[in-house]
């Protein structure tokens, strides 16, 4: 992500300095020399890096981060004297551009001018901006990331426990199942600790997973007992809750299936 945003800021006309494990410049060098300091390190290392540089940041500087969680990074950055703003890019470093990619912005202690200047760097490259608070961000991420990744990993773990390998199912695949297993494979091809941190360090995730387990338990009971009426009740309540979004989801997946068939 650091390399991706290095290019973004350079194209915006910034002179960019980089510190890392293999650079001559240290984090403190960056903190002392830069008007804008961007922290982009693994979630578990974010707090330590912020604490290292915070005492050296002054009122004339801006500090921000690109971490998937926002409450604890923002709290740490606020211990400095700099302006503070949190960013969360809702995509990985492999995207070809920022076009139509969402970046969540959590202004904490900064002027509107600073927010506009920095979000402008992203919107000029086509990014979509969502502005919220650190607390609301983490609460939403408990669903968007926590619930989604938990269910995805649960699917992989269930298949492993049954002993049915993904390749065993290939001759039986439907397009929807192919999409589902593709999402599982995409997640499992990445860094396990990244996902562990996103789920285990977000204080709102445990309650969501608890609700998920209850939902799976009640729906599972209906299926195992053969209670079709109860299953239909749950299904109908969920369909009503999703409303128009259900139809939009059908249209989107129809489009994806069409693209898959044409390949």
Fold held by 137-262: 6-phosphogluconate dehydrogenase C-terminal fold (1.10.3660)
Please give the pLDDT value at position 260.
84
Segment 217-235 mean pLDDT: 98
Per-residue model confidence as pLDDT tens digits over 29-48: 999 999 999 999 999 999 99
CA angle 256, 258, 263 (to 5 degrees): 100
Is residue 77 helix, strand or coil?
A: helix
Indicate whether 262 pLDDT > 90. Answer: no
Delimit the domains of the chain by residue range. 2-132, 137-262
Among residues 104, 101, 100, 102, which one has the least CA distance to residue 132? 104
1.10.3720.10, 3.40.50.720, 3.30.413.10, 3.30.70.260: CATH of 2-132: 3.40.50.720
Please give the pLDDT value at position 263.
66
Per-residue model confidence as pLDDT tens digits over 154-181: 999 999 999 999 999 999 999 999 999 9
**Cβ density class 210-244: b for 16+ within 10 Å, e for less:** eebeeeeeeeeebeeeeeeeeeeeeeeeeeeeeee
Please give the pLDDT value at position 64.
97
Q: End-to-end distance of the chain based on CA atoms, in angstroms?
A: 30
Q: Which DSSP letter does residue 170 get?
A: G
Per-residue model confidence as pLDDT tens digits over 20-29: 989 999 999 9
């Amino acid at each position: 992500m650091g390399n991706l945003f290095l290019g973004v800021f350079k194209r915006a006309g910034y002179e960019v300095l980089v510190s890392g494990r293999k650079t001559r410049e240290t984090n403190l060098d960056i903190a002392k020399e830069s008007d804008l300091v961007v922290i982009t390190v693994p979630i578990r290392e974010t707090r330590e890096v912020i604490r290292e540089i915070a005492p050296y940041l002054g009122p004339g500087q801006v500090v921000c981060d690109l971490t998937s969680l926002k409450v604890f990074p923002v709290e740490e950055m606020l211990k400095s004297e700099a302006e503070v703003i949190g960013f969360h890019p809702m995509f990985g470093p492999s995207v070809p551009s920022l076009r139509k990619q969402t970046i969540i912005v959590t202004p904490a202690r900064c002027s509107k001018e600073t927010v506009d200047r920095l979000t402008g760097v992203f919107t000029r490259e086509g990014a979509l901006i969502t502005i919220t608070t650190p607390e609301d961000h983490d609460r939403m991420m408990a669903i968007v990331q926590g619930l989604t990744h938990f269910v995805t990993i649960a699917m992989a773990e269930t298949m492993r426990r049954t002993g049915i390998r993904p390749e065993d199912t290939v001759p039986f695949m439907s397009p929807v199942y192919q999409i589902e297993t593709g999402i599982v494979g995409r997640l499992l091809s990445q860094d396990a600790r990244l996902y562990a941190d996103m789920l285990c360090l977000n204080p709102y995730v445990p309650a969501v997973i608890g609700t998920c387990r209850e939902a799976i338990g009640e729906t599972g009971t209906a299926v195992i007992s053969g209670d079709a009426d109860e299953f239909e009740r749950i299904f109908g309540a969920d369909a009503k809750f999703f409303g128009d979004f259900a139809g939009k989801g059908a249209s989107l997946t129809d489009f994806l299936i069409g693209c898959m068939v044409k390949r």
